[in-house]
Structure 1
Amino acid sequence: MEQVIGVRFKPAGKIYYFDSNHLDIHLDDGVIVETSRGKEYGYAVLFPKHPEVDGDNPLKPIIRKATMKDMAQLERNKEREKSAFGICLKKIEKYKIPMKLLRVEYTFDRNKIVFFFTSEGRVDFRELVKDLASVFHTRIELRQVGVRDEAKQVSGIGSCGRPLCCATFLGEFAPVSIKMAKNQGLSLNPTKISGVCGRLMCCLRYENDQYEGDTKKKRCCMDRKKGPLFRVGMKVATEEGIGQVLYVNSQKHTVKVQLEGEKTKTFSWDEVEKVDNG
């Protein structure tokens, strides 16, 4: 079987798989491939040892390794994208369309321009498309994206003080649920567990499997004694009085409790008793 190569077209983008076509390709090499949008310039980022290949849909071969001429064309496309962005903004203002333009993307062979935008609802941009086509003389696509995709394309700084995960390394979005925050004993205050996009933070998934496994193991020996496991907001009885759970550490099996006044103290799970459902 020919070597399978994972190709990414933009930073933190989804990885697509291609047949190496017997070419000598190394990590981070530029390659030219055929996609549903036409020819595209991508980078070799992954060489899976045991790829899952669908026999009914054989992989497309890589056309060639990128040359200096291809790199120069890629840079020219980026300059064209900046110009197209400004032109589109003026057209949007001209037609007074309620949409926010995020990014413009040329296909490598310049046979198509894709304009990414967000809007609160559906918009009629037929006249805009006609006007843009008359200016650029090529195929035009306007693609509406959601708030998570907007954050990925615009980027920014998260509450942790680091660049957004979606804009730096997450190739695809995965489902995130409020249950993940509960498993980790986090506050369910939306402002504390939501990202800049307004949706639940993607990082809630990172340690969720570990917390779920620990919770299941602990539940086997705790449910018969104390009922439900501790969670943030639950009232508990301690040797120093009644308090409210502020934080649950499932790895160390401890809870941080706020007692009367401003005093807080950490207890092991065996040192506290549930008072009510909190």
Structure 2
Amino acid sequence: MRVIGVRFRDVGNICYYDPDDIDIDVNDRVIVETDRGIECGRVILGARELSETYDNPLKKIIRKASPEDICICEENFKKEKEAFDICKSKIIELDLPMKLISAEYTFDNAKVLFYFTAECRVDFRELVKILASIFRVRIELRQVGVRDETKMVGGMGSCGRALCCHSYLSDFVPVSIKMAKEQSLSLNPAKISGVCGRLMCCLKNESDTYEYLNKKMPREGVTVSTPAGETGVIVSTSVLRQTVKVLVTKSEDAKEIEEYSLKEIRIQA
């Protein structure tokens, strides 16, 4: 099966389509049909053959985007900013307990989607009626979580770089406190939580490496033999360097801490 990968937002999910007989390259803009309606997306993955099959046939590319299509996308982008401001003002007028995140027009201008966050269920039926009378198109409001909000809005992480979810992560990955423990990080929530208030996505980046290296490391307090034939106790370890510090007894009154690589020591039974 021949497919191409299309993305509709800078860091959105990749959707697969049948390119049919259309000659399409990476970074080309294409017009496709989605669950939301007709959309204009950018080709992220060029045409390739896949061995697996899908239960439902993939939708075909309608056409490559023309200069006129790209102009429509640019106009929609401007209209989204106006729609956002109007919706935000109506939310304030109706005193609704919700926070507007973004507004999106479908390519065919048949629908406007508004994304918001809220701490509880919100009755926004009156808001939908007002917006429908203003825009004269179908209105759809979608509630999203705090991680989705951060992905849409973006920002800077504690590392000083753009947020992972906003810059390159297509999907959120499961992150657990175990990953922080594996990497010997502080378990203070303020230090391992991202802008969204959840555990930082980057904890996943090196978790597999740390998990593999930690399996090779002996525990602190284990008795080992040094290359000099002396006996000592491990007092600390360095996972990335794969070294240990050993408290070696030189004499009855003298003890020293010496550092060795894992290859240089032998764990005593």
CA positional deviation for 1:96: 0.2
Q: How do 1:96-175 and structure 2 match up within 5 A?
A: 96-175=95-174
Quote the residue 2:178 is aligned against: 179
How big is the alpha-carbon RMSD for the aligned residues of Structure 1 and Structure 2? 2.8
Q: Per-residue displacement from partner, 1:170-221 (whole Å, max 9, x unpaired)? A: 1110110000111111111111111111100100011111111122233xxx
Larger radius of gyration: 2
The 5-angstrom pairing of residues 210-249 of structure 1 reads: 210-218=209-217, 222=218, 226=222, 249=238
Provide the C-alpha distance between the structure 1 equivalents of 2:36 and 2:132, rounded to a whole number of angstroms.
17
Which stretch shifts more, 64-73 or 187-196?
A: 187-196
In the TM superposition, what are the counterparts of 1:1-278 in structure 2 within 5 Å? Answer: 1=1, 3-47=2-46, 49=48, 51=50, 53-218=52-217, 222=218, 226=222, 249-254=238-243
Q: CA deviation at 1:64?
A: 0.4
Asked if the contact 1:34/1:63 (under 8 Å) is kept, the reply is yes
Aligned residue type for 1:250: V
CA shift in 2, pair 1:203/1:82, >3 Å: same
Native 8 Å contact 2:24 2:64 kept in 1:
yes
Structure 2's unaligned 5+ residue stretches are 224-231, 246-256, 265-269
State the shift of 1:124 in Å. Answer: 0.9
Identity of counterpart residues, as a percentage?
Answer: 55
Letter in 2 for 1:146: G
The residue identity in structure 1 corresponding to 2:242 is H
- In 2 relative to 1, CA 78–211 (structure 1 residues): closer, same or farther, beyond 3 Å? same
Contact 1:82 1:104 in 2 (8 A): yes
Q: Which moved more, 1:165-174 or 1:47-56?
A: 47-56
- Equivalent residue, structure 2, for 1:261: none
Deviation at 1:253? Answer: 2.5
SS in 1 for 2:103: strand
Distance 1:43 1:61 in 2: 15
Distance 1:268 1:91, change over 3 A: farther
* Distance in 1 between residues matched to 2:74 and 2:53, nearest whole Å: 35
Equivalent position amino acid for 1:249 in 2: S
Q: Quick one: distance in 1 between partners of 2:83 and 2:197?
A: 29
In structure 2, how many angstroms separate the alpha carbons of the residues matched to 1:224 and 1:168? Answer: 39
User: After superposition, what is the alpha-carbon deviation per residue over 1:141-167, rounded to whole angstroms, capped at 9, x for unaligned?
Assistant: 111111111111110000110011111
Paired residue total: 246
Give, in angstroms, the shift of residue 82 of structure 1. 1.0
Distance 2:198 2:138 in 1: 33
Write the distance in 2 (CA, Å) between the matches of 1:140 and 1:249.
56
- Retained in 1: the 8 A contact 2:3–2:18? yes
Equivalent position amino acid for 2:212 in 1 = G
Structure 1 unmatched runs, 5+: 228-236, 257-264, 272-278
Contact 2:13-2:171 at 8 Å conserved across structures: yes
Secondary structure at 2:186's aligned position in 1? coil
Once residues 269 and 121 of structure 1 are traced to their aligned partners in structure 2, the CA distance between those partners, rounded to angstroms, is 55
TM-score, normalization by structure 1:
0.81
Distance 1:52 1:144, change over 3 A: farther
In the aligned structure 1, how far is the partner of 2:200 from the partner of 2:35?
Answer: 31
The residue type equivalent to 2:122 in the other structure is V
